[in-house]
Amino acid sequence: MLRKMLCTVSLALAAFAWQSAAHAVAATAGDAGAAAASCEDKAIDKNGKKLAGAAKASFVKKCEADAKPAGTCEDKAIDKNGKKLAGAAKASFIKKCEADAKAAK
């Protein structure tokens, strides 16, 4: 009985890993529609059931935000609390960010 349960769990995890890998490939293809579909497909709870309602909406929103590429230096100019920088702190951050971006190229 235990062996049968372990086999079932192993198959379920393998199928989930394969599905996640396929969705990761689709998301990296750069297609926004594929990324959105991928996030909805990934909206599964710990028991393997699809999320619904507010839980699904929250998961999809966070997933899509994480999937977006990093924006410009101005978009990145936020403090540790998630608030936008202003004044001299913002100017300093943008100057350093742009210099780092040029050096990376």
Determine the pLDDT at residue 22.
46
Per the structure, how many domains does the chain have? Answer: 2
> Do 59 and 77 lie in a common domain?
no
Q: Which domain holds residue 79?
A: 73-104
SS3 84: strand
- The 10s digit of each residue's pLDDT in 13-60 is 555 555 554 455 454 444 455 555 688 889 999 999 999 999 999 999
**Model's pTM, two decimal places?**
0.38
Q: How many CA atoms lie within 13 A of 46 on its CB side?
A: 0
Q: In this structure, are 24 and 59 located in the same domain?
A: yes
Give me the amino acid identity at 56: K
Residue 4 binned pLDDT confidence (cut-offs 50, 70, 90)? low
Question: 73-99, pLDDT tens digit by residue?
Answer: 888 899 999 899 999 999 999 999 989
What pLDDT was estimated at residue 58? Answer: 93
Considering the domain architecture, whether residues 16 and 30 belong to the same structural domain is answered as yes
> 11 and 56, same structural domain?
yes
Q: Is residue 79 domain-shared with residue 35, that is, in the same domain? A: no
Domain shared by 7 and 36, yes or no = yes
